[in-house]
Chains A and B, each alone.
Chain A
Amino acid sequence: GESVGLHLPTLSVQEGDNSIINCAYSNSASDYFIWYKQESGKGPQFIIDIRSNMDKRQGQRVTVLLNKTVKHLSLQIAATQPGDSAVYFCAEDLYNQGGKLIFGQGTELSVKP
């Protein structure tokens, strides 16, 4: 089975609120994690990444948190906007193999105006 999975398949938030998307992984050897955003009919778009030697990384309006103790990853989006509506995937680079990523099933984020 997949080593990366998501807790919730859908998430609906109000515009302006913060969003939190969760991801669980099962392999403690995973070294590198990426969050992708995929809009309908498009390819995945890189959002932010984090290595296993870090607990937190911030980007523009996004923060990724990594809890290695419970093998949990989360993506926080501040002040969610309608343009954030998409499916979000976490991906795992198992054994630091570079392009061979293991993707989770995805969470669909819906932003209500």
Chain B
Amino acid sequence: NAGVMQNPRHLVRRRGQEARLRCSPVKGHSHVYWYRQLPEEGLKFMVYLQKENIIDESGMPKERFSAEFPKEGPSILRIQQVVRGDSAAYFCASSPDRKSISEAFFGQGTRLTVV
């Protein structure tokens, strides 16, 4: 009975490198949400994906950030040319459908540190 699995748990990147964060949803969940949490702050919505589709990316920075949720495999949040300001905890949640957000489970997060 695995929940949402995120990896890696911790990721260190130098400025200018690429960061790839992976999220495997709960089995049977086809909706995935990515959130970013800066220290001492609440989570900020980034993007909502359904299998092979981006439904809402209104919280994604316009440049360097992209997300996908392929038919097979985990959802990937990709950050190109990372900068210090990208350092944060990135959380993924999944749910069986859009309206069942109360059933959404969050993963343990990936803590990205840019040095």
Instruction: Give the interface of A toward B (CB within 8 A).
Output: 2, 4, 32, 34, 41-46, 49, 89, 91, 93, 96-106
Contacts and interface: CB of A to CB of B under 8 A. Distances in A.
22 contacts: A32-B101, A44-B106, A45-B106, A46-B104, A89-B42, A89-B43, A93-B101, A98-B48, A98-B98, A98-B99, A99-B31, A99-B33, A99-B101, A100-B33, A100-B45, A100-B59, A101-B43, A102-B45, A103-B42, A103-B44, A105-B41, A105-B42
Contacts of B106: 43-45
B28 to A, nearest CB: 16
Interface of B: 4, 31, 33, 35, 40-45, 48, 56, 58-59, 91, 93, 95, 98-99, 101-102, 104-109
Contacts of A102: 45
A34 B42 contact: no
A43 B107 contact: yes
B95 to A, nearest CB: 6
Contact of A46 (B43, B99, B102): B102
B93 A99 contact: yes
Given A42-B108, A93-B101, A99-B45, 11 more contacts: A2-B42, A4-B42, A43-B93, A43-B107, A43-B109, A44-B106, A91-B43, A98-B48, A99-B95, A101-B101, A103-B43
Contact of A34 (B40, B102, B107): B102
Nearest to A49: B102
A42 to B, nearest CB: 6
B31 to A, nearest CB: 6
Contacts of A99: 31, 33, 45, 48, 93, 95, 98, 101, 104
Nearest to B34: A99
Contacts of B104: 46, 99
A36 B35 CA distance: 14
Nearest to A102: B45
- Of A34, A45, A100, A104, most buried by chain B (CB within 10 Å of CB) is A100
A49 B109 CA distance: 22
